[in-house]
Amino acid sequence: MTPSTLEIPALAAVPMAAQQLAAAIAESGRSVVAFEGEMGAGKTTLIRALCAALGVEDDVSSPTFALVNEYRDGRGQPIYHFDFYRVDSEEEAARLGAAEYFDSGYLCLVEWPSRVASLLPPQRLLVELTVTGPESRQLSITSE
């Protein structure tokens, strides 16, 4: 997959960007998607829109304190949403079974992946969100 960049000019454009991201995930064949971006960049907002594009009907929220939330896509398949912002160490994430989730073959959406870098599979999709204005963002998608 060739790296791609999407411009998100305003919050209203996030669902369209999420549709394009869903297509990129399908094309990549990767099940682990790492979301990088500064605090407030919109990682959870993008993941919420991505889950909606994938047919998730549940309320999608940041698993900041639970570390992982499980949703079901439109086909009934699990989607795991991680937020490692508050994880104290990679060992803590390992004890929670993060690697088993990553190896499951099911879609894993990972916020703050740098905090658990050694647990992530080498074959993953990297989504970088860069703030370019009050509501605008640049989305870079790279297959690793």
For the whole model, what pTM was predicted? 0.94
Q: For residue 144, give Cα distances in angstroms to 33, 92, 98, 120.
A: 10, 25, 19, 11
Distance (Å, whole) CA 117 – CA 138:
23
Model pLDDT for residues 13-22, shown as the tens digit of each residue:
999 999 999 9
Q: Which residue has the tokens 């682990």?
A: 32
Q: Which stretches of the chain are DSSP H helices?
A: 14-28, 43-53, 90-95, 98-102
Mean pLDDT of the chain: 94
Model pLDDT for residues 28-45, shown as the tens digit of each residue:
999 999 999 999 999 999
Distance (Å, whole) CA 130 – CA 139:
7
- Please give the domain boundaries of the chain with CATH numbers for all domains: 4-143 (3.40.50.300)
Q: Which of 66-75, 81-90, 103-112 has the highest mean pLDDT?
A: 103-112
Strand pairing report for 125-131 and 68-72? unpaired
